[in-house]
């Protein structure tokens, strides 16, 4: 028992050490970041990487609080998105935003361990781990780490449920692509055997229109993923942990 506790404590300290950036490193500077809920108080947070219900199955390195951070510029644009969403009867639900580099490194270690398939039935049942990197589901460098990318969905205030998008966050597969069963440019649904319904495609497009109309761009493999077009730090991969930071 003592040995197991010792190992657990050592692992915990190792995780914190992995996200202990040098104070003099510009990538450790969080001064241009805000908590999303300080800018968008109506946002609902479900920070998957702070818990264990994610594709790895454990809390991810660097997530020290169940909060979401963005650069001030991205947060301002997200506030405009939220205002429009509320007018339509929706709220934003955030799964992830800024992601420290040590979290991405955690993903890389997990991806290299082909024996660890704990969460395969829930997030990638039709794929093997060796294809996750080549197909772009996991990358050595993530736009999230630059601080102006957010993963989110819409919450219907009438039904008090998430909008049905025909798939879940972090599902690895073509079913998550924005052009699955439709054309995002024309917003036209197309029938695919076993595919998503017209309503599910329409719901994805509602989110997409809201985000694109306020300066975000979409990703071609994830309907929930958006990055600010004019992100302020296009070449900086930040290292400070996800934790509560002061108001602007």
Q: CATH number for the domain including 42? A: 3.30.1380.10
Residue 236 lies in a domain: no
Which pLDDT value is given to residue 17? Answer: 55
Q: Is a pLDDT exceeding 80 seen at residue 49?
A: yes
pLDDT > 90 fraction of the chain, expressed in percent and rounded: 85
Residue 248 lies in a domain: no
Residue 239 lies in a domain: no
CA quadruple 39, 41, 46, 47: dihedral sign: positive
| Tokens linked to 179 | 């052009």
Residue 90 lies in a domain: yes
- Kindly state the DSSP code that residue 27 receives in the 8-state scheme: G
Residue 244 lies in a domain: no
Residue 234 lies in a domain: no
Residue 193 lies in a domain: yes
pLDDT > 70 fraction of the chain, expressed in percent and rounded: 90
Q: Is a pLDDT exceeding 60 seen at residue 20?
A: yes
Which band of pLDDT confidence, cut at 50, 70 and 90, is reported for residue 136? Answer: confident
Q: Which listed residue (191, 222, 231, 248) is catalytic? A: 222
Residue 246 lies in a domain: no
Domain holding 105, by residue range, is 2-228
Q: Tell if the pTM clears 0.85, that is, is over it.
A: yes
Query: What's the whole-number mean pLDDT along residues 12-34?
Result: 74
Q: How buried is residue 101: exposed, middle or buried, by Cβ count under 10 Å (0-12/13-18/19+)?
A: buried
Q: Catalytic site residue 188?
A: no
Mean pLDDT of the chain: 92
What is the number of domains present in the chain?
Answer: 1
**DSSP-derived secondary structure for 89-133:** TEEEEEEE----HHHHHHHHHHHH-TT--TTHHHH-TTS-GGGTT
């Amino acid at each position: 028992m003592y040995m197991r506790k010792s190992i657990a404590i050592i692992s915990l300290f190792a995780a914190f050490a992995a996200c202990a950036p040098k104070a003099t490193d510009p990538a450790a500077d969080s001064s241009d970041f805000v908590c999303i809920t300080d800018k968008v108080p109506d946002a609902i947070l479900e920070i998957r990487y702070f818990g264990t219900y994610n594709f790895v199955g454990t809390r991810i390195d660097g997530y020290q609080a169940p909060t979401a951070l963005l650069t001030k510029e991205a947060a301002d644009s997200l506030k405009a998105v939220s205002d429009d969403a509320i007018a339509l009867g929706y709220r934003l639900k955030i799964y992830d935003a800024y992601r420290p580099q040590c979290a991405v490194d955690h993903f890389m270690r997990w991806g290299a361990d082909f024996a660890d398939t704990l969460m395969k039935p829930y997030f990638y049942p039709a794929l093997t781990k060796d294809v996750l990197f080549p197909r772009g589901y996991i990358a050595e460098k993530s736009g999230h780490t630059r601080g102006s990318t957010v993963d989110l969905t819409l919450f219907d205030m009438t039904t008090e449920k998430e909008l049905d998008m025909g798939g879940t966050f972090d599902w690895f597969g073509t079913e998550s692509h924005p052009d699955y069963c439709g054309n995002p440019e024309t917003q036209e649904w197309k029938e695919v055997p076993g595919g998503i319904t017209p309503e599910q495609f329409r719901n994805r497009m509602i989110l997409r229109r809201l985000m694109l109309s306020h300066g975000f761009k979409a990703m071609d493999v994830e309907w929930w993923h958006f990055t600010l077009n004019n992100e302020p730090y296009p070449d900086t991969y930040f290292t400070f942990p996800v934790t509560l930071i002061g108001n602007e």
